[in-house]
Amino acid sequence: MKRGLILLVAVALSACASSRPRAPQDDHASLGRAPVVDASAMDSQRDIVLAVANPIDPPATHAGSSLLGYAPSKHYGAGQRAAATLAALKQSYGLHEITGWPIKALDVYCVVVKTPPGMARDALLKALAKDDRVQLAQPLHDYAVYADKPQDAHQDNDPYASLQRGFVETDAALAHDFSEGNGVHVAIVDTGVDTTHPDLLGRIHDMHNMVDDDAAAFNRDGHGTEVAGVIAADGDNHRGIVGIAPKATLSIYKACWYPAALHAGARCNSFTLAKALAAIIDTDTRIINLSLGGPADPLLSQLLARILEQGRIVVAAMPPDGNADGFPIDAPGVLVVRVGGTSAAAPGVLSAPGIDILTTQPDGGYDFTSGSSMAAPHVSGIVALLLALSPRLDARTAHDLLLRSSKVSNGKLQVNAAAAVAALRETQKAAP
Catalytic positions, written as ranges: 190, 223, 373
| 256: nearest Cα among 233, 283, 275 | 275
Taking the C-alpha atoms of residue 220 and residue 137, their distance in angstroms, rounded to an integer, is 34
| 136: nearest Cα among 118, 114, 111, 160 | 111
| Secondary structure, 3-state, 331-381 | CCCCEEEEECCCCCCCCCCEEECCCCEEEEECCCEEEEECCHHHHHHHHHH
| 360: nearest Cα among 156, 204, 210 | 204
Contact by Cβ (8 Å): 251, 205:
yes
DSSP code per residue over 112-140: EEEPPTTS-HHHHHHHHHT-TT-SEEEE-
Beta bridge partners of 156: none
Contact by Cβ (8 Å): 359, 226:
yes
**Number of residues written out for the chain:** 432
27 φ, ψ (degrees, to nearest 5): -60, -25
C-alpha separations of 124 from 221, 301, 331 in Å:
36, 22, 28
Alpha helices in 27-175 (DSSP H): 80-93, 121-129, 159-162, 165-169, 172-175
Contact by Cβ (8 Å): 206, 171:
no
Taking the C-alpha atoms of residue 180 and residue 203, their distance in angstroms, rounded to an integer, is 12
| 383: nearest Cα among 408, 355, 420, 347 | 420
In 2-47, beta strands by DSSP E = none
